[in-house]
A and B are shown apart, each in its own frame.
Chain A
Amino acid sequence: MAEARLSPRVIPDRLQSRGSRVLKSWESLLLVVAVLIFTINSFASPYFLDPWNLSDATFNFTEKAMIAFAMALVIISGEIDLSVASIIALSSTAMGLAVTMGADTPMLVVVGLGTGLLCGAVNGLLITGLGLPSIVVTIGTMSLFRGLSFIILGDQAFTGYPASFAYFGQGYVWWVFSFEFALFVLFALIYSVLLHKTNFGRAVYAIGNNQTAALFSGVRVGRVKFILFLLTGLMAGIASICLTSRLGSTRPSIALGVELEVVTMVVLGGVSILGGSGTIPGVVLAAFIMGMVTFGFGLLNVPGIVMSIFIGVLLISVIALPILWARARRRVAH
């Protein structure tokens, strides 16, 4: 360090070269992990590398990933939405009710999306309108929305969805590519552009890094947050249409516990749980990793609890790794 102090100080225009930044990024690490898991799975089971099997496996994550994109934005802005699984349940129940009233498939889609948006609006109003913390509000609405489904359905189930409705969760766009997978790709692109290429996306990062500073810089914090909760509601509505179509029926216990899997996917994707940083490509990779691990373990008939342990270890590593890394670097620097 002695000679560095003697030489003239150069202030670089960026701290790392673009290449090294990409290489050291969380996303590249995830990509390595994804490739590794894919390779291990291919060797571990003779059934893994079959296009139809892989296509079946995508259903393990497509619905959750679609919500995870919107959830990533919410978490980057420093908030959280734990009511998404209950929104799925309520949307599905509303669609079931619509079926009993004779609704056709386009009407069902409208009902599903509408219920999702409505639930998102309720969350958004309570959080931005009344200024309540999102974690409290959405824990409340998590019980509220699912409670409503239970009141409407009890121990009954709605079945009898029209045959054309099955397309959303069981249909294929081309060869092995399911409609759900196509939606997943489409939303991955839309949310990447929204977060990384628009003013709205910048505002989301700004709010997550420093809400007060964002407010004084002219970012309409309340409006941005309201839109974010509308988006998670809408995505939950879309997921609900897919899941209901895939199951061909509605029960109030539908999608139980999905909110935690969605949050796991987002955090695993490198989105900081404290807000302010994260990318959509990271979430996409995390979705693939979780889907492939679930499917790979399933092919080997590993009990699901081992899978939960694996995801738990992965998640803790994800949160601990950057902190340990930073600490280690500080120690080296001293």
Chain B
Amino acid sequence: MKIFKALMVTTAVSLALMAGTAHAENKKIALVVKALGIGFFEAANKGAQEAAKELGDVEIIYTGPTSTTAEGQIEVINSLVAQKVDAIAISANDKDALVPALKKAMDRGIKVISWDSGVAPEGRAMHLNPSSNPLIGNMIIKLAADQLPDGGDVAVLSASATATNQNTWIEEMKKVQGNYKGINVVATVYGDDLADKSYRETQGLIQSYPNLKAIIAPTSVGIVAAAQAVEDAGKVGQINVTGLGLPSEMAGHVKAGSSKSFAIWNPIDLGYSATMIAYDLIGGAEAKPGAELKMGRMGTVKLDDNNEGAMADPFVYDASNVEEFAKIF
């Protein structure tokens, strides 16, 4: 009778869980992620817990499917609707497929926001982007300029020539280039987000521009390949690689000195801000174009015409904190 034994265990587990979660007066905010067991989202949960502690009367339900499917997230949403949670903050596996389920949630009075990976406007009250294109464009050139007080030649190693994200960021970067005196962007090359091609393109840059002082790679594949190429060419200390990268992949290169600093969103801040916004909406704030929603220690977020908002500047990682975040994502 193994089935019955299994059921007994389930009952015990269920009852134990029940005992731990019964706080009727608390506001229940569900942080729904793409899938459980991903470091980035575990870190976001850490931020959400921090927000809950700060707010006092909030209980975070951190949940998500086992694999990154829209169907799995819909099952999760249905069970959250059934539990009558106060708000759902979701990082979506599918922009469109979740809309009917989330609409139903909103019909039943639940505040729905998306963060990180967005839901189509009909399916949420607002979407929180970790950053915005102008902020990213400014950050990547600032990171290069900070290490070059006297100015110098810098080159850009991008993904593919048709990559929408990278092209937008480079465009935004060029708009603010005038604010950084003496910084001279000499070339933009494309590594197609392939490690070997990015590596070869970097070698080409090193040979073509002997006075090159920095390489900006706004792609997580490119930045690693460029740092490796700089190390292999023995140019550490002469050429600084920066841009957007993942701490776990960049920790070694920061240690080696080929990259002084780089940026990417901070998942802890993202989970924190999403929780704060959800709380603000539960409290009666309205998500409409032009509205400003409160994000606790992260300030406020201003919504654009699509009810989207940007949280903050990309978070800067350097020798002081990269090891700590490398464990997370």
Contacts and interface: CB of A to CB of B under 8 A. Distances in A.
A1 to B, nearest CB: 28
A56 B7 contact: no
A248 B10 contact: no
A300 B64 CA distance: 13
Interface string A299-312: 11111111110100
A294 to B, nearest CB: 6
B197 interface: no
Nearest to B66: A304
A105 B63 CA distance: 36
Interface string B93-108: 0111101100000000
A128 interface: no
A327 to B, nearest CB: 14
Interface in A47-81: 47-48, 50, 53, 56-57, 59-60
Interface in A140-195: 157, 159, 166, 169-170
Contacts of B78: 56-57, 59-60, 295, 298
Contacts of B7: 33, 36-37, 40
Contacts of A298: 75-76, 78-80, 82
B36 interface: yes
B11 A44 contact: yes
B85 to A, nearest CB: 10
Contacts of A157: 94-97
B118 to A, nearest CB: 13
Given A157-B94, A170-B100, A305-B66, A47 B6 contact: no
B195 interface: no
A130 interface: no
Contact of B82 (A50, A247, A321): A50
B54 to A, nearest CB: 22
A257 B70 CA distance: 12
A296 B79 CA distance: 8
A253 B18 CA distance: 35
Contacts of B63: 301, 303
B18 A256 contact: no
A248 B14 contact: no
Contacts of B83: 45, 47, 299, 301
Given A248-B99, A317-B6, A294 B75 contact: yes
A321 B2 contact: yes
A305 to B, nearest CB: 5
Contacts of B252: none
B65 A300 contact: no
Nearest to A41: B14
A247 B120 CA distance: 13
B64 to A, nearest CB: 8
Contact of B6 (A249, A300, A313): A313
Contact of B67 (A53, A57, A255, A257): A257
A300 B80 CA distance: 9
A314 interface: yes
B70 A301 contact: no
Q: Looking at chain B's contact residues, is the secondary structure mostly helix, strand, loop, or mixed?
A: helix
B34 to A, nearest CB: 12
B84 A44 contact: no
Quick one: which of A47, A300, A302, A310 has the most chain B CB within 10 A? A300
Contact of B97 (A48, A248, A304): A248
Contacts of A40: 7, 10-11, 14
Nearest to B37: A305
A225 interface: no
Contacts of A321: 2-3
Given A248-B100, A317-B3, A303 B10 contact: no
Contacts of B95: 157
A302 B82 contact: no
Nearest to B93: A253
B3 A299 contact: no
A44 B79 contact: no
A313 B2 contact: yes
Interface string A244-279: 001111010111111000000000000000000000
B94 A251 contact: yes
Contacts of A248: 96-97, 99-100
Contacts of A310: 6, 10
Contacts of A305: 36-37, 66
Interface string B50-74: 0000000000010111110111101
A320 interface: yes
Interface of B: 2-4, 6-7, 10-11, 13-15, 17-18, 21, 36-37, 61, 63-67, 69-72, 74-76, 78-84, 94-97, 99-100
23 contacts: A40-B7, A44-B15, A44-B18, A56-B78, A56-B81, A60-B75, A159-B96, A166-B100, A246-B74, A247-B70, A247-B96, A248-B99, A248-B100, A251-B70, A295-B78, A295-B82, A298-B82, A299-B82, A299-B83, A301-B61, A301-B83, A304-B36, A304-B65
Pick the 10 closest A-B CB pairs, nearest first: A298-B79, A249-B96, A247-B97, A53-B82, A304-B66, A317-B2, A44-B14, A56-B78, A47-B82, A159-B96
Interface of A: 29, 33, 36-37, 40, 44-45, 47-48, 50, 53, 56-57, 59-60, 157, 159, 166, 169-170, 243, 246-249, 251, 253-258, 294-296, 298-308, 310, 313-314, 317-318, 320-321
